[in-house]
Structure 1
Amino acid sequence: MSTDRQRYKGLFISLEGVDGSGKSTQASLLVEDLQFYGYDVVFVREPGGTVLSEQIRSIVLDPQNDSLCDECELLLYEASRAQLVKEVIEPALSSGKVVVCDRFYDSTFAYQSAGRGLEADLVKHANTLGSCGISPDRTLVYMLDPTVALSRATQNSVDRLEAEGVAFQNRVSAGYNQLIQEESHRVKSIDAQGSVEQVHKLTRDCLADLIPQMRELSE
């Protein structure tokens, strides 16, 4: 198993989707599956995953920080990511572990480029810097109608991005669709409309070529 197949012994899986799509639940279930089969798993989230990155998370998601400009938001996400990669992800992959990441740089393209309107090449360049050149081996995007997803996400407290509303989430969803079309070898779409177990089966199916045990779980 390897990310950038010549560089690392480990496997890197990221999970994506609009807020309320259920990806975080699926990430937890995936980690349980991998651990059941004896894989050494590191589970992280973005933004976050380190002390410094969690401090940045509190800034970018705080609804009181509504004056945060789009460019500043982008750079904060990239700063959080770079710290996570260098402190956690890169060492884990180098030692042969499986890294499961709840969001990675595809979120930045979907939210900051498609959602905010920042120029795509600028965001992609920033993503290369923030990820330190590391790319997931497989990215799973949980697709759900943004109206339905947002109603789920806002049942309790609402963060700064969830507060942007349905129009913003529609643009984010369109950004994910673009990635699915452009990078179909890496980015796989999962219909998130079903039950948790139905979506879990789809998750396993999308990873069976990389992790043979997933095929056994899906049967």
Structure 2
Amino acid sequence: MTNRSKQYRYWNGEFGRRYWERHPTTVDGFDDLRTEQWGPGETQSEVMRRFVADIDRESDVLEVGCATGIQLEILSRLGFEDLFGVDFHRWALERAQRDRPALSPIEATATALPFRDGQFDLVFTNETLITVPPAKIDRVMAEIVRCSNEWIWGLEFHADEYTEIEWRGEDDLLWKTDFCERYLENHDLELVDAEVIEYRENDDLDGAFLLRKRDAT
């Protein structure tokens, strides 16, 4: 069985359902979790606000790996209106369609996004690249860059080198690395902003970054 088939089977099966059931289902709940992880004053909403502060609120925005739509709801609260999401986790999409019907996310895989080149002003991920096997990460990043007309934003687990993460006794499901640096190495992008966020209770790190296409019009 290939790594891809294991990914699809696990994330679309009982493992994926349990994963999302453990995850906060509201913006406030997710912000509270982030404060526990990152420290007082640091929330998902605050980090996203900092990174998108100078992006036009009339931008078309795509989240790759939107799950239940929490990040898209945060952007809506920050004044963005043209919001789109894709994911292949059916349970998470059903939850998004139930809890946030205005978002209307669609089922698609990150390796073949069903959009034209440069269709969105901003394309972003939040803990999505960590679920992509290393052998496929460059293809996924290329799709993200292809669909963006200008901005690429990410918030992902961070490590200096590619590192597999064992998750509840399972392997071949999660990885971390310096995703920002990998984008910059392989694409004609410029770094606009980046932060490495430390966890309070352990040695984990999150990497947040905003990149811009050098040929953006």
Asked if Structure 1 and Structure 2 have the same fold, meaning a TM-score greater than 0.5 normalized by the shorter chain, the answer is no
Question: Per the shorter chain, which TM-score range?
Answer: 0.3 to 0.5
> Which of the two has greater helix per residue?
1
> Which of the two has greater strand per residue?
2
TM-score (normalizing by structure 1): 0.35
Q: RCO (CA 8 Å, sep 6+): is it higher in 1 or 2?
A: 1
